[in-house]
Amino acid sequence: MSAATPLPERSRVVQQHLEAAGVSASIRVLPDSARTAAEAAAAIGCDVAAIANSLVLIADGEPVLVMTSGGHRVDLDVLTASIGAREVAMAPASVVRSATGQAIGGVAPIGHPKPLRTFLDDALQHRDELWAAAGHPHTVMPLTFEQLRLLTQGTVITVA
């Protein structure tokens, strides 16, 4: 990122959360949107399985964040059982925005108005480097699995 490319406001909030947690990760501004795992992987030049997708779901009436590998799709039945919920559904865009302060396609694992209960796909722990959205559809950040777990206090589960 050059000095001519300032971070979007939501990404600056994410950067502040990274710094407060003592995590050194450089947010990268991409020239094009990276709203999907495939778009992000192509823009970064990594395997799609290294993309840590941020999914906001409604579990028993409460929003939760699930960080999942871009290499597979979440099975809602498996996820529901893994988190001990009775019912899980994808959150509508309005809930995503109100729970995270961020738009779908740019939801970071941190930087939300208040922390969300977070679950981490066990497949992510097998990657040396992960890439997560950084608060805006054009920003991403590299993290290790341990950094992701530290930042989110997430519970490792099976999602597929």
Question: Distance (Å, rounded) from C-alpha 43 to C-alpha 10?
Answer: 20
Question: Distance (Å, rounded) from C-alpha 43 to C-alpha 140?
Answer: 10
Q: What is the pLDDT of residue 6?
A: 87
Token digits of residue 145: 């699995």
Would the pTM count as exceeding 0.85? Answer: yes
Q: Note whether 91 and 121 are within 8 A (CB).
A: no
| Residue-wise pLDDT tens digits, 14-58 | 999 999 999 999 999 998 888 789 889 999 999 999 999 999 999
Residue 64 per-residue DSSP state:
E
Q: Which CATH number is 9-157's, of 3.90.1150.10, 1.20.1250.20, 3.40.50.300, 3.90.960.10?
A: 3.90.960.10
**Residue 1 — very low, low, confident or very high, per pLDDT cuts 50/70/90?**
very low
Question: Distance (Å, rounded) from C-alpha 50 to C-alpha 128?
Answer: 8
**Residue 64 — very low, low, confident or very high, per pLDDT cuts 50/70/90?**
very high
User: Where exactly are the structural domains of the chain?
Assistant: 9-157
